Amino acid sequence: MSDDLAEQPIFGSHVTLHVCTTCRHEGDAEDAPRAGAGLAEAAMAAAPPGVTVVPVKCLAACKRGPAAALSRPGAWSYVIGGLCMEEAVPALMEGARLYAGDPGGLLPWRGRPEPLKRGLIARLPPMPLPETAP
């Protein structure tokens, strides 16, 4: 992955990256700056066209924070935790690129950055379209 990833467009579907701003690393002091807030800020600065970073207050992955979630219309969504600042932002942006380009709406295993493999918490199925809902 290149250092100028923020200048490279994402092809395929638009991706939303939700980043928990209340997450902290295990053992962080209660009054310490939240690691999740720093991650959200860094992700917003690095997001290429086609990726929208949305800070959220909680992804309910407190034991595995900092956490983020990738989603796109009509596709599976992914919740990823245990992210560390040094590798999380490049990994999330590369994951978003792979995810946006997958015609099946999946985050491909092949080529997926290691933090997105080892940090996977959940994969949620796409919401059915209104005409297919029971």
pLDDT at 131: 60
Q: What's the whole-model pTM score? A: 0.84
Here the tokens at position 64 are 């595995």
Residue 78 contacts residue 122 (beta carbons within 8 Å): yes
Q: Quote the mean pLDDT of the chain.
A: 87
Element (H, E) at 20: strand 15-20
Q: What is the pLDDT of residues 42-63, one digit of tens each?
A: 999 999 999 999 999 999 998 9
- How far apart (Å, rounded) are the C-alpha atoms in residues 25 and 35? 7
Query: Tokens 């999740």 belong to which residue?
Result: 36
Closest CA to 8 of 44, 42, 45, 49: 49
Give the domains, in start order, of the chain with CATH numbers: 11-126 (3.40.30.10)
